[in-house]
Structure 1
Amino acid sequence: MEASAEKEGAKISCHGARRFLLKRLLFIPLGAIAFATTLYAQGNPAWTEQVYSLSAYPIVSTTVGFLPSLASFSVAEWLAVFLLLFFLGYVVYYIRKMVVNRSERGTTAYRGVAGAVAMLSVVYFCFTFTGGLNYYRYTFTHYTGYEVEEHSVDELEQLCVSLADGLNETRGQLEDDADVFSLEPGDFERYAHLSVEAVQLLAEQYPVLERPLYSTPKPVILSELMSQAGIAGIFVPFTMESNINVNEPLFTLPFTMSHELAHQCGFMREDEANFIAYLACKQIDDPLVRYSGLYSAFTRSISALAKVDPEAASKVRAGLSSEVQRDMEQSSRHYARYDGVIADISTSVNDTYLKANNQADGVGGYGRMVDLLLAEQRATAR
């Protein structure tokens, strides 16, 4: 009788495990669909551009981003905290269950893994169709008409000189003792709206940037953690929000905001988002916004020049106004505070993420903005 009861209990347990697994298996095909679609998009950029980026994405992004856009805080930040706590609770729950019920360790582990795979499949599916496919669309140069070519050192030096002149002129439009580092009350909201206006103005020149909804950039409460990780901003497709690190120097924020808005507009490549942000910042009369775009373009360009001609780079730097040089020194001290293991790990994770999403250069792709700046310079000179 006792043996019969044990067999019956085992049958019930087995049946329960099978039913549990079947429920989770229903979600796993979503991951397979996302993977298959990604593979197809990789080999068919024309399809990705026309069917997804220009047709489906504006509808999906507006639908997903509408409610979060109404909040003054970052919904994505709270979502990230919730998911982290849920993940930790999930792991602790199944470890504890395996310790307590030793006789069912195999079944418990099976359930835990099946549940995790199902959840990851759903997350991957959502990521793919809320923005992930945009990694495989046409590049922004398809719409600018610029051609990225091999460049000479002289061309690069000319670009740096031109940007340095723009920096000096724009910085001169700000007061000499203007505090371009500290964020005062109301500053974030002001520049968040100006960054949206900048991208909207750029969209008049490049209609591919037009959107039914531009979700205004959001400040992140855990900005100190972002600084430790070396993150200035991050676009979260699950909520269509541009999340900004408010610990960054004030004069860098408009560029960062415009960069994340470029992702929101469907251009996920980092070099292109940088270039779009630079072009957007130039659209605004506010000198701090223009300074932000010029500064970011210059720092990347002068770094590229320093690698091939250190003497020329030093000469260009020497021509910067004392105010610009002071800003650069203060900025260097600010970022030096956050060098460390956390920043290195964050960079490695970001590098892996970018390479997994069709950006072979990984974090090195951020610097490829210089190629686009040179292509613009070349096209303008013709």
Structure 2
Amino acid sequence: MTKRTKVLIALSFPLQFILIKILGNYPEFIETYYSNGLYPYVSKLFRIVFGWIPFSIGDIFYTIAGILIIRYIYKNYRLVRKEYKRILLDIYITITVAYFAFHLLWGMNYYRLPLYKSLELDRKYTTEELVNFTERAIAKANSIQYQITQNDTIKVKVPYKSSEIFEKTMNGYENFSAKQPQFEFSHRSLKTSIYSGFLTTMGFSGYINPFTNEAQINGRIPVYKFPVTASHEKAHQIGYSAENEANFIGCMAAFYNDDIYFQYGAYNFMVWHCLKEVHNRDKDEYERLKLTLNSGIQKNYDEVRAFWTSHKNPLKPMFKFTFDQFLKANNQSGGILSYSYVVSLLVNYDKKHTLVP
């Protein structure tokens, strides 16, 4: 690469940044020309190319990138004082290219029209509406838990391998997209991450690789969490970057799945997030509702809590803080708390479509 080319690439970074921030003020434009225009073709192409491979190509790319970075540091650390301008320019160019690729291949979805607008939902809801929805979700979760175990004190165990769960996610998207066509999904590219141990250390259940459009699942999390987690990551693949929206779509894809274990995962997910929000608004109602929950469901919650507690480490808060700042920098003002905003979508979708009878 010539010096002139390097300078031109370097100069493009501020222009990219300004352009993205300007376009971010026009979500209808992003929705029309990127999220429903360019992006579906790009994402589908990557899923076709990489989806059939049983392991994560994205994780391999990250491994190679890590090796190249270490190699670069090894070759250049003695030259920092003499050639610091060249080294800084190399680093700046790498960041510029990665920034461009990230937004072109996936990241512009952070600026699309909010889901509550495209679904024509209210954004606010009352505590009474929340409690009513939570009561009905608990009743349904209790019913499915008992149907599976025939005992309200036994936690649910999913009898599938991860590959079977990944295959079954398609059914939920097929059924959900029959009601809401914008959530149509094709060409599965869903895999267990080879860095599941690292994801556990960071405190994450999964992620999407924005450069290969592969959905990665942490293979170490409790298996009953796989259906909703896998469906959540697939929501990212079809262009819903916001975490609350991916939570909602993932929950709905599990909810509409014909498999009872997926349905249990959806109701378990709903109840967990709704109870947290009830606790924030009315602690007395929270205590009352919590007592109506089958102890088998509570044991599933305890299973997840015990898993993350057993993997506590000093680095986890740093990773969480970094991800929080990443989300805030990408049009999610609530940062990592935006995961919980799914309750608004659930309650208001139920008000319009009677999600839980």
TM (norm. structure 1) is 0.87
CA contact (8 A) 1:192 1:216 kept: no
Amino acid at match of 1:367: S
Aligned-residue offset at 1:381: 5.8
Q: Percent identity?
A: 22
2:285: which partner in 1?
Answer: 312
CA–CA separation in structure 1 for the residues paired with 2:189 and 2:304: 26
Q: Deviations over 1:155-184 (max 9, x none)?
A: 2221221111121111122135887457x7
Equivalent residue in structure 2 for 1:250, among 216, 223, 239: 223
Deviation at 1:226, TM superposition (A): 0.9
Query: Hey, which bits of structure 1, 4+ residues long, moved more than 6 A?
Result: none
Which residue number in structure 2 is paired with residue 148 of structure 1? 123
Task: Report the TM-score, using the length of structure 2 for normalisation.
Answer: 0.92
| Residue 70 (structure 2) pairs with residue 88 (structure 1) | yes
Question: Which structure has the bigger radius of gyration?
Answer: 1
Deviations 1:330-368 (A, max 9, x none): 222122112332221111011001000000000010110
**Structure 1 residue 129, shift from structure 2 partner:** 0.6
Alignment deviations for residues 76-117 of structure 1 (CA, whole Å, 9 cap, x no partner): 11112221222222222211234xxxxxx34x1111111111
Match of 2:45 in 1: 63
Q: 1:68, 1:29 → 2: CA distance?
A: 33
Q: Deviations for 1:201-234, whole angstroms, at most 9, x for unmatched residues?
A: 21222222235x4333100122122111110010
* Pair 29,65 (structure 1): closer, same or farther in 2 beyond 3 Å: farther
Structure 2, unaligned stretches of length 5 or more? none
Tell me the amino acid that sits aligned with residue 271 of structure 2: F
Letter in 1 for 2:99: Y
Q: Of residues 157, 160, 164 in structure 1, which corresponds to 2:138?
A: 164
**1:193 matches 2:167:** yes
Aligned to 2:113: 138
SS at match of 1:218: strand
Q: How many residues align?
A: 353
Moved more, 24-33 or 200-209: 24-33
- 1:196 shift after superposition: 2.5
Q: Write the distance in 2 (CA, Å) between the matches of 1:323 and 1:201.
A: 28
Match of 1:206 among 164, 180, 196: 180
The one-letter amino acid of 1:362's match is: G
- Whether the aligned pair in 1 keeps the contact of 2:43 and 2:105 (CA below 8 Å) is yes
Q: Which residue of 1 aligns with 2:26?
A: 44
Q: 1:69·1:216 contact (CA, 8 Å) conserved in 2?
A: yes
Verify: 1:72 aligned to 2:45, yes or no: no
| Deviation of 1:237 (Å) | 1.5
CA contact (8 A) 2:55 2:191 kept: yes
Deviation at 1:29, TM superposition (A): 4.7
Rounded Cα–Cα distance in structure 2 between residues aligned with 1:57 and 1:25:
29
| Preserved contact between residue 196 and residue 261 of structure 1 (Cα < 8 Å) | no
Q: What do you get for the CA RMSD once the two structures are aligned?
A: 2.1
Residue by residue, what CA displacement relative to the aligned partner does 1:113-166 show, whole Å, maximum 9, x if unpaired?
A: 1111111111111001111111111122233221112x3322222122111112
User: What is the letter of the counterpart of residue 69 of structure 2?
Assistant: F
